[in-house]
Every structure is written in C-alpha cells, then in structure tokens.
A and B are shown apart, each in its own frame.
Chain A
Amino acid sequence: MAEMWISMGPQHPMTHGLWTLKVKVDGETIVDADPELGYLHRSVEKMGERRKYFMNTTLTDRLCYASSTTWTHSYVLAVEELMEVEVPTRAQYIRTIMLELQRLASHLMWAGAYMPDLGHITGALYFWRDRELFLNLLELPSGSRLLYNYMRIGGVKRDLPDGFEQKTERILKLFEQRLDEYADLFENSKIFRMRTEDVGKFTGTQAMNMGITGPNLRGCGVKHDLRVEDTYEIYEEIDWDICTREAGPGYSDCFSRYMVRIDEMKESVRIIRDCFKKMPQGPTMSSRVPVRASGEAFRRTEDSRGEALMYLVGDGSDRPYRWKIKSPMFTTISACPHYLKGYKLADIPAIMGSIDICIGETDK
C-alpha cells in the first residue's frame, strides 16, 4: 500500500472527545500526524469577561466533565490570590478531600476509557463501577454528580455532611481491595504489557520541552508535582509521596503512565485518610469576600491531567478584564506528531488513550 492520510475523528472511538487526528500511514506504520482542534470551542475566556468573578465557577465546572472540581478550584485559587482572601483552615482541608476524590474519579474515568482502546471492554465496566462510588461520595456534600460548583471564592459551599468520614472510609477500603484484584487482570497480564510496554516513548527532557506535565511527565521519571512544588491548600502538612517510575522495563511508555496513575490513586487514598485525621473544626467560608479586584494574579495547580494555570487580570470592576486558562492537554495534544511517529496504527489508541485526553478543557 502506498502512503495515505487517514482522518481519525471528529467521531472516532480513539478520540475521547471531539477532535481530529489526521495520520499519514505507510502500510500500518505512522509517518506523520496532524491534530486539529476547535470542535468544542465555547469561548469560555470571552464569556468570563462578561460575568462577575463568582459567576465564573459555573463555567470552570464545565471545562472538564471528568474533573470539574479541580478546575473550579484552580480558578478560585487564582481569584483568591487576586483579591487577597484568606481561606479558613477547615475549608482548606475540605477542599483537599474533594480534590483528591475528584482526582480518583477522574483517574478511574481515564482507566475505564483506556481499556476499550486496548480492546478490553470488561476493564471499562470495572473501573466505571468504582467511579460510581466516588461520584456518590462527591454527591453527598455538593448535591450533584457531575458539575459540583462546590468550591467558592473564600471557602466551600457548605460543610461536610454527618457520617461522611465513615462512608468515605468504607468506600476507600473497598476500593483498595479492588485495586489489588485488578492488578492480576491488567498490569500482570502478558497481553496488556505487550500492548503498552515500549509504546509511545518520550524522555523527561523532551516532555518538558513539549509542554507535557502531570502524570505523563512523572511517568518519564521526573519527580515533579505542583502539589509540592507550588504548594497550595494543606498539601505540605499531609503525609504523602510523589509517584514516579524508575528506569527499567515499563519506563516512560504507556505502561508507565498507567502505573503512575494507579499509584497516584493509592496516594490519593492516603491523602484523604490523613486529611480526615488532621481536620480541625471551624468555619468553612471566609468572612470577608470582596467583589471587585484589580491587578493581576495567577496560580497553577496540579490538575488530574497536569499543570493547570489560571491567569487573571482585574481592572477594578467586578468582572475579570482578562482571564486565561492553561490546559495541560492543549500542549500535550499539540506534541502528538512527535510521540506517534514510527509506531503502528494499532498503537494510536494505546498512546493517545494513555495521555488522558479531555477535550472540554483543551478547547476551552
């Protein structure tokens, strides 16, 4: 067969959203690739300039359907930096718990979406079954299952309900058992490793240059996590570790990215338990929340998919003058010709699935 362009998307099982990946194949080997975005562009930044600061949390919720609270939190942090609001300690603990629950739900969503990419439909149902548990938990304080709108400027919407700690502990225990069970089905499976090892390799230096952050960067062995390196909320008081992969088999490839996320889920469980242990009593909302702001501020947070950066410019009115969202997936997708080249056509779902695409945040 001669070289030809294949257009994967905008409706294709591989894309996990709405974008097009044009690949040039020689037989089954990928020669070139060209990603295209914009099918889901809602101009969130422009809409945000027309709304008041506290109204924008509904928009940030809708940035990513799999991980909405983390995005709202990133925005709220930036606004608090801009307005110089102090958040009560209990609210910080509650935020950390919610962030980690959301990270668990998001990683489970990813794992469930990744398995059908490899032709393993049972895995999808197993992981999504577990995601339901965490959605139930997130529903208890916030009242909704997908778009929570729980983080508010200056604190959180309301305190945790009664019995939340016991319910969480029960679910975390069940979840840990299940993760151990899944080890035999996935990471110890010969065929799973055949599909994921030595596929989609890039080194840490390349990844930093291409703008790849988060679990994908940690899969290359770079010990980088913004929860530690640009610390926010109470992450520095909590006892936890950054998950990376050591050099060896299953390093800086799809398998390492899978394993980093599985390890991160275990770390998230640790963080939530420690939070409950150390959580003080007190108010959950700051007493002084201004409406207007001026100047400029930015905060970056460790989203489920990498570095999320919110840059805000205020002009003294109650609406942001300029609001810029940095999505980790935006640059990761842009670099896909680099890490797709030379692999087989069947590797495209394995690679593009392993970097955890969310088009909602990417197209803004």
Chain B
Amino acid sequence: MTLFGLCKTMAELTAEKFIVPVLEFQRNLFPPFSYPAGDLADWFASEGGIVTLAWIYAVNIAFAVGMTNLILVIHLERKIAARIQDRRGPMLSLRAFRELGEDLAGEAPTWRFKGNYSGIGIIQNMADGIKAITKELIIPNKADKFLFSMGPIIFISSSVFLLVLFPLSDRFAASAAPAGLMVIMAAFSIAPIGVLTSGWASNNKYSMIGGMRSAAQLMSYEIPLLLSMAGVFLLAGSYNPVDIVEQQREATWLFGLPMWNFIPQFIGFIVFMICILAEVERVPFDLPEAEAELVEGWTTEYSGIRYMLFLAAEYIRGFAGAAVATILFLGGWAGPWPVPPEIWFLLKVYLIIIFWIFIRWTVPRIRTDQILELGWKKLLPLSLINILIVIFMVEIYPYFDDIVNLPEVF
C-alpha cells in the first residue's frame, strides 16, 4: 500500500460519501442554477476528480510530516546547542505552567521531580511562534514595498515546495516524478532570487551586501554540488529517488555488506556534504547573515512573522538537504527488516542534521573570499575527479571483470 494508494482510497471514500452527496443536494436545491455544483459533482465522480483529491491529500500529509519534522529539528538544535554550551536550553512545559500557577497562587509547587519549572521545553516553539505572530511587521520607509513583501514569499514558498518532493520511502511519497532529484535541485536554486530580492528591496547596505554574498555563494556552490550528484545519477542511470535507492540496496560489497554510494564515491560524498552545507547556509558558510559584521545580513530589516518564516524556511532547506544527502549517498530508506523504511530514512536524516548542529556550534564562520576560493579551486576539481572514478566504474571496469575474473565487488 503506497501513500498515494491510501490517499486515493480516502479520496474515493470522501467523494462518494461526502462531497458528491453534498453537491447533488445543492444541484437539486434549485435546478435552474445547477451549473457549478452539478459539474463539480460529475467531476468528483470521475477518475480525474478523485486523482486530484488524492493529490491534495498526499501533499497535505507530506506537508504535515515535514512541518512536524521542522519543529523537531528546531527543538533538537536548541537542546543540543545548549548541551554543547553547558546550559540546559528551553525548559518550558505544561507542567512548568502548572508550577508557575501554583507559585503565583502562593502555594508551594507539588511536582518536585527535577526542581522547579522543569521539562523538555517542546512548547517553547509554540511560545516563539506566538511571539513572532504578534509582533509588528515593520516595512522601512524608503524600501521598495512590493519587492520587500515578495522576497519572503519567494524564499518561503520555494522552501516549502521542497517538503513534498522527496519521498520518505518507496511507498511514502507524495511526488513520483521521474526526474525527482532534478526538481528538488531546481527548487533549491529558486531561493537565491528571493534572497537577492529581499536584500535589495530593504534599502539597507548590510542587507544589500548580504544578498550579494548569498547570490555569489549559491552560484559558486551550485556547480560542484550538481557535479558531485552526477556520479550517483550515472551509477543508477536515473534521476528518480526510488531507482537510486533501489540501486544502492542491491549493490553489495565484501562479505555481502551493503555498498551505499558513499563507499565507492567517497570524494563525491565529501564534496556534496560541504556544498549542501553552503547551499542551506549553515555555519561555517552562513556569511550572508553574518551577525558580527552584517547584523543578520539580508534579514536585517524584517520583523515579526516574516523573519520567523525566513528562519523556518532555512530549517526546511536544511532538512531537505539532509534528505537529499540520505537518498543519494546513505542508501535512503534501505535498512534491516524489523524497523520500517520510513523510520530508517528519518534516522539517517536526523543523523546528518545532528552532525550539522555539532559543526554549527564548534567552528567559526569563514570569510567570503575564502569560501569562494574553496568552492572554485578545490571542490570543483574534486567533483570532476569523482565523475572520472564513476565513469571508470560504470563503463570500463565491467570489461576487466570479464577478462580477469575479479571478485564480485560492484
């Protein structure tokens, strides 16, 4: 049972039991004006209507899953950062509310397990959301008002679009596009336009420099990123995530160990991990929003929910980047049986994200000229070497294999 199949069953059920009867009732209510309701009823009874409804369900489920993961990632980042920095991080919880209430009422708190006001702090995210929504949206006086509000829309919509594009497993996928990974990378590369737009429209020199930095960085890292992905596409012969993961699942190594792509294409894996870090703009590559010299760069002038959505969109991009890395190099949802493949997939994604969080809180930020030098002079040649290795593996090695009976490695 795939996600789409499930959604289709649900769509059939809802169309048959709920939507069509309601529309029929409206048509019969006043026959001379039956035009929209009647046509809609006919459409929902047909195959096209049911498939469309199934798509809406699937996309919404994927969106809900992604947003839940977003909250978890933010919370994980805060807690791990706090532990790295010898603090405890957010601890606001429902029990803390109760304790607070008891304190305010003049009674001693009754729940004294770990000291007062203790908890894992998951509703801190809700508190932050409420704070962001209730804050004033400030538009600077001399800003380009249309572009100023268009910038966040471009950035956030292209990021949320990413959520429905990657599958959690071969059955849990909202999108089944044959060129799935290409679409993901296309969606990734829309964001610099939003960044540049909002940086320029803010009418602030810091924002302007931040936007410029972002554009330069994303442009120079897109090329090694795609070149390092090309090796995987060559090996699998497809852009489809499902095919890529299937190829990794079937490939075995010494003693029948699974050979996921990061073993033969180790150079490509390293290049990809560095580039995707620069692509999602996390430390040490978060120059566009360097708070030390650019005061948060292109987000300087944004406030309230717009700023919050920028932040959320960056985490979504981080999550999507980790998911792409998992699909390409870490064998996607492949894993031993008793754990479901979706859980395997999320485990690997979270492993990468935790690795990123550790990096973020242990290294300083590097400089603009250094990042560009790294991208053009080091990562680009390395990704080309990686492609050469893959070409050797795919095209030349099988002939040797026929002649000299090498052990079955690939």
Direct contact of A and B (CB under 8 A): yes
- In the complex, chain B residues 344-367 whose Cβ is within 8 Å of any chain A Cβ: 361-367
**Which of these binds chain B: A42-50, A160-168, A186-194, A295-303?**
A186-194
> Is B87 interfacial (CB-CB < 8 Å)?
yes
> Is A347 interfacial (CB-CB < 8 Å)?
yes
Residue contact A121 to B367, C-beta cutoff 8 Å:
no
> Is A266 interfacial (CB-CB < 8 Å)?
no
CB distance from A174 to the nearest CB of B (A): 13
- In the complex, chain B residues 287-307 whose Cβ is within 8 Å of any chain A Cβ: 287, 290-295
Chain B residues within 8 Å of A14, by CB: 292-293
CB distance from A120 to the nearest CB of B (A): 4
Least CB separation from B216: chain A residue: A28
How far is A115 from B361 in the complex, measured between Cα atoms in Å? 11
Residue contact A344 to B369, C-beta cutoff 8 Å:
yes
Chain A residues within 8 Å of B84, by CB: 122
Identify which of A12, A189, A192, A195 contacts B367 (C-beta below 8 A): A195
Given the known interface contacts A119-B292, A122-B85, A126-B86, the answer about A189 and B363 at a Cβ–Cβ threshold of 8 Å is yes
CB distance from A111 to the nearest CB of B (A): 13
Residue contact B365 to A119, C-beta cutoff 8 Å:
yes
Chain B residues within 8 Å of A346, by CB: 287, 290, 293, 365, 367-368
Chain B residues within 8 Å of A191, by CB: 284, 363-364, 366
Least CB separation from A118: chain B residue: B364
Total residues of chain B contacting the partner, CB 8 A:
29
Residue contact B361 to A118, C-beta cutoff 8 Å:
no
> Is A345 interfacial (CB-CB < 8 Å)?
yes
> Is B209 interfacial (CB-CB < 8 Å)?
yes
- Give me 5 A-to-B residue pairs in the complex whose CB atoms sit less than 8 angstroms apart, sorted by A's number: A119-B365, A122-B81, A195-B365, A346-B368, A349-B292
Chain B residues within 8 Å of A118, by CB: 292, 364-365
Residue contact B292 to A1, C-beta cutoff 8 Å:
no
Residue contact B209 to A28, C-beta cutoff 8 Å:
yes
How far is A344 from B290 in the complex, measured between Cα atoms in Å? 14
Residue contact A194 to B366, C-beta cutoff 8 Å:
yes
Chain A residues within 8 Å of B362, by CB: 122, 185
> Is B54 interfacial (CB-CB < 8 Å)?
no
Residue contact A349 to B293, C-beta cutoff 8 Å:
yes
Total residues of chain A contacting the partner, CB 8 A:
32
Residue contact B209 to A345, C-beta cutoff 8 Å:
yes
How far is A8 from B292 in the complex, measured between Cα atoms in Å? 11
> Is A52 interfacial (CB-CB < 8 Å)?
no
How far is A182 from B85 in the complex, measured between Cα atoms in Å? 13
CB distance from B219 to the nearest CB of A (A): 16
Chain A residues within 8 Å of B135, by CB: none
Chain B residues within 8 Å of A119, by CB: 283-284, 286, 290-292, 364-365
CB distance from B301 to the nearest CB of A (A): 15
> Is A348 interfacial (CB-CB < 8 Å)?
yes
> Is B131 interfacial (CB-CB < 8 Å)?
no
Identify which of B86, B295, B369 contacts A12 (C-beta below 8 A): B295
Identify which of B291, B364, B368 contacts A13 (C-beta below 8 A): B291
Residue contact B87 to A125, C-beta cutoff 8 Å:
yes
> Is A337 interfacial (CB-CB < 8 Å)?
no
Residue contact A1 to B293, C-beta cutoff 8 Å:
no
Residue contact B86 to A125, C-beta cutoff 8 Å:
yes
> Is A117 interfacial (CB-CB < 8 Å)?
yes
Chain A residues within 8 Å of B284, by CB: 119, 191
> Is B98 interfacial (CB-CB < 8 Å)?
no
How far is A189 from B366 in the complex, measured between Cα atoms in Å? 12
Identify which of B212, B361, B363 contacts A1 (C-beta below 8 A): B212
CB distance from A37 to the nearest CB of B (A): 20
> Is A116 interfacial (CB-CB < 8 Å)?
yes
Residue contact B364 to A344, C-beta cutoff 8 Å:
no
> Is A55 interfacial (CB-CB < 8 Å)?
no
> Is A40 interfacial (CB-CB < 8 Å)?
no
Chain A residues within 8 Å of B361, by CB: 121-122
CB distance from A19 to the nearest CB of B (A): 16
> Is B145 interfacial (CB-CB < 8 Å)?
no
- In the complex, chain B residues 5-47 whose Cβ is within 8 Å of any chain A Cβ: none
How far is A179 from B153 in the complex, measured between Cα atoms in Å? 47
- In the complex, chain A residues 31-60 whose Cβ is within 8 Å of any chain B Cβ: none
> Is A338 interfacial (CB-CB < 8 Å)?
no
Give a binary string over B364-402; 1 marks a CB under 8 Å from any A CB, 0 the rest. Answer: 111111100000000000000000000000000000000
Give a binary string over A346-361; 1 marks a CB under 8 Å from any B CB, 0 the rest. Answer: 1111000000000000
Identify which of A28, A115, A345 contacts B364 (C-beta below 8 A): A115
> Is B95 interfacial (CB-CB < 8 Å)?
no
Give a binary string over B196-228; 1 marks a CB under 8 Å from any A CB, 0 the rest. Answer: 000000000110010010000000000000000
Residue contact B85 to A13, C-beta cutoff 8 Å:
no
Least CB separation from B205: chain A residue: A6
> Is A129 interfacial (CB-CB < 8 Å)?
yes
CB distance from B379 to the nearest CB of A (A): 16
Give a binary string over A113-141; 1 marks a CB under 8 Å from any B CB, 0 the rest. Answer: 00111111111011001000000000000
Residue contact A192 to B369, C-beta cutoff 8 Å:
no
How far is A347 from B290 in the complex, measured between Cα atoms in Å? 12
Given the known interface contacts A122-B84, A191-B363, A345-B209, the answer about A116 and B368 at a Cβ–Cβ threshold of 8 Å is no
CB distance from A257 to the nearest CB of B (A): 16
Chain A residues within 8 Å of B293, by CB: 8, 13-14, 345-346, 348-349
Chain B residues within 8 Å of A125, by CB: 85-87
Residue contact A117 to B205, C-beta cutoff 8 Å:
no
CB distance from A187 to the nearest CB of B (A): 12
Chain B residues within 8 Å of A123, by CB: 364
The 9 A-B residue pairs with the shortest CB-CB distance, nearest first, are: A119-B365, A118-B364, A349-B292, A120-B364, A125-B85, A346-B367, A117-B292, A122-B361, A119-B364
Chain A residues within 8 Å of B287, by CB: 346
How far is A12 from B212 in the complex, measured between Cα atoms in Å? 20
Chain B residues within 8 Å of A4, by CB: 205
How far is A125 from B87 in the complex, measured between Cα atoms in Å? 9
Give a binary string over A163-185; 1 marks a CB under 8 Å from any B CB, 0 the rest. Answer: 00000000000000000000001
- In the complex, chain A residues 186-213 whose Cβ is within 8 Å of any chain B Cβ: 189, 191-192, 194-195
